[in-house]
Amino acid sequence: MKEYIPVLRQGTLKPYWREELQELKKASIDAYNLWKLCDRPRSELVNKLRIESKYKYKHALKVAAHKSES
């Protein structure tokens, strides 16, 4: 049976996933990589960019998940 039916973990497929979320995720990853390249500053503009892009992505993800549930 396992040879013919792929087994996916619960939560792998997200019906609410959209192009906008993909772009926000990529922006968050890019900001994180830039922050790492700058030796992980804690009080500079790069850190602020990293945090803002992370929370924009997380907020959009929560909103999309909530909308798909209702």
- 32 versus 13: which is more confidently predicted? 32
Work out the average pLDDT over 45-69. 95
The amino acid occupying position 24 is: L
Please state the domain extents for the chain. Answer: 19-69
Is the predicted pLDDT of residue 50 greater than 90, yes or no?
yes
The amino acid occupying position 62 is: K
Q: What is the pLDDT of residue 9?
A: 80
The amino acid occupying position 66 is: H
| HEC-encoded secondary structure of the chain | CCCCCCCCCCCCCCCCCCHHHHHHHHHHHHHHHHHHHCCCCCCCHHHHHHHHHHHHHHHHHHHHHHHHHC
Structural tokens at position 33: 């990589």
Q: What is the pLDDT of residue 7?
A: 80
Work out the average pLDDT over 20-35. 97
- 13 versus 17: which is more confidently predicted? 17
Structural tokens at position 67: 């909308």
Is the predicted pLDDT of residue 1 greater than 90, yes or no?
no
